């Protein structure tokens, strides 16, 4: 060959790229949103199409306490991350625990609501179309909250063991994106089930 034989040039200037953690979580959130969209569409399409009772107005009680808890947990999560970034690990742990607690109250509220519906009202997923869509949509969201609570608990254990330091802020932040997403979905689910559908 000739004198132009050369090797590939090597990496040179500083090079900023989007964080793969945030991009990955963002992509996952897009996919999850698509799943929720389908369930919400099914819910809205079947509003008022049940052939037999009970209707939402007869059995549903609006979970105000749970909703307030879940939505405020987004704020505590935000403050926890801010505290971690500044290196205030005590505040981080406190806010993180508070987030977990608020999420747990929400899921407890859902459990009580379901227990009431199933055992007092005899209303299950098989009862009618309302039951089918209600339990599947709220259940899908609740399963996401449970996954989030498991993640919260794991990080909390690590925090108690002193394993979470300011350099882990980004990983915690990526996780917090998921939690904020779960909260935002609840706004949609709440609107669909308890406002539009009732």
Partner 1 sequence: MAASTDSLPRFAARKNALAVIYEWLGTADHKKIGLMYIVYALVFLVVMGVEAVLMRIQLAHANSSFLSPEVFNRLFTLHGTTGVFFVGMPILFGFGNYLVPLMIGARDMAYPRLNAFSFWMTAFGGLLLYASFFAGNSVAQAGIAPDVGWFAYAPLTATAFSPGHSTDYWNLALLVAGVGSISGGVNFIATILGLRCPGMTLSRMPLLVWMNLVMGGLVLVTISPLTAAQLMLLADRYLGAHFFDPQAGGSVVMWMHFFWIFGHPEVYVLIIPCFAFISEIVPVFSRKAIFGYPAMVAATTSIGFVSLGVWAHHLFTIGMPSYGNAFFVLTTMVVAVPTGIKIFNWLATMWGGRIRFATPMLFAVGFLFQFLIGGLTGIMLATAPFDWQLANSYFVVAHFHYVIVGGILFSIFAAFYYWFPKMTGRLLNETLGKWNFWILLVGFHLTFDTMYVPGLLGMPRRIYTYEAGRGWESWNLITSIGVIFQGVAVLIFVYNMVWSYLRGPLAGNDPWDAWTLEWATTSPPPEYNFAQTPAVRSRRPLWDIKHPEDPDSKYE
Partner 2 sequence: MTAPEQKQHVSLPKPTLWPIALALGATLIAVGLVTNAKVSWAGLILALAGSVGWFFQVLPHENHEEVPVVPTPVPIATTRRSVERIAAAQVPHRARLPLEIYPISAGIKGGLAGGAAMAVLAMLYGVLSQRSIWYPINLLGAVVYEHVQVSSAQMKAFHIELLLVATALHLTTSILVGLLYGALLPMLPRRPILLGGILAPLVWTGLLYNVLDIIDPILNQRIQWGWFLASQVGFGVVAGIVVLRQVRIPTWQYPLAARAGVEAPGMMDEEEKQ
Is position 198 an interface residue for partner 2 (rule: CB under 8 A)? no
Partner interacting with residue 132 (select from partner 1, partner 2, none; CB below 5-8 Å by kind): partner 1
Question: Residue 39 Cβ, how far from partner 1 at the closest point, in Å?
Answer: 6
Partner interacting with residue 162 (select from partner 2, partner 1, none; CB below 5-8 Å by kind): none
For the window 12-31, what string marks contact with partner 2 as x by the rule CB under 8 A? x--x----------------
37, 163, 170, 191: residue in contact with partner 2 (rule CB under 8 A): 163
Residue among 98 and 140 whose Cβ is closer to partner 1: 140
Residues contributing to the site for partner 1 (CB under 8 A): 4, 6-13, 15, 17-20, 23-24, 27-28, 30-32, 34-39, 42, 45-46, 49-51, 125-126, 128-129, 131-133, 135-136, 140
Partner interacting with residue 136 (select from partner 2, partner 1, none; CB below 5-8 Å by kind): partner 1
Residue among 6 and 161 whose Cβ is closer to partner 1: 6
Cβ within 8 Å of residue 172, ≥6 positions away? 80, 81, 84, 155, 164
- The 3-state DSSP class for residue 33 equals helix
Helix crossing, 89-115 with 64-85: angle to 10°? 160
Alpha-carbon Rg for the chain in angstroms: 22
Q: Find out whether the peptide bond into 54 is cis, omega within 30 degrees of 0.
A: yes
Residue among 4 and 126 whose Cβ is closer to partner 2: 4
2, 17, 34, 162: residue in contact with partner 2 (rule CB under 8 A): 2
DSSP state of 1: -
Q: List phi, psi (to 5°) of 91.
A: -65, -40
Distance CA 34, CA 57 (A): 28
Distance CA 198, CA 176 (A): 31
CB-count burial class (<10 Å; 0-12, 13-18, 19+) for 154: exposed
Q: Name the residues that contact partner 2, by CB under 8 A.
A: 1-2, 4-8, 10-12, 15, 154, 158, 163
């Amino acid at each position: 060959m000739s004198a132009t034989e050369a090797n590939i040039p090597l990496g040179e200037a500083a090079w900023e790229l989007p964080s793969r953690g945030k991009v990955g979580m963002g992509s996952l959130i897009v996919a999850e949103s698509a799943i929720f969209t389908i369930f919400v569409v099914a819910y809205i399409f079947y509003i008022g199409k049940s052939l037999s009772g009970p209707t939402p107005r007869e059995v549903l009680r609006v979970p105000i306490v749970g909703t307030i808890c879940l939505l405020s947990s987004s704020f505590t999560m935000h403050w926890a991350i801010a505290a971690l970034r500044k290196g205030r690990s005590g505040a981080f742990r406190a806010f993180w625990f508070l987030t977990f607690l608020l999420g747990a109250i929400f899921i407890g509220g859902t459990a009580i609501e379901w227990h009431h519906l199933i055992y007092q009202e005899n209303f299950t997923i098989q009862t009618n179309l309302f039951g089918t869509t209600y339990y599947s949509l709220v259940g899908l969201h609740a399963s996401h909250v449970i996954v989030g609570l498991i993640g919260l608990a794991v990080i909390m254990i690590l925090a108690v063991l002193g394993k979470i330091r300011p350099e882990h802020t980004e990983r915690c932040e990526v996780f917090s994106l998921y939690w904020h997403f779960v909260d935002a979905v609840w706004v949609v689910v709440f609107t669909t089930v308890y406002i539009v559908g009732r």
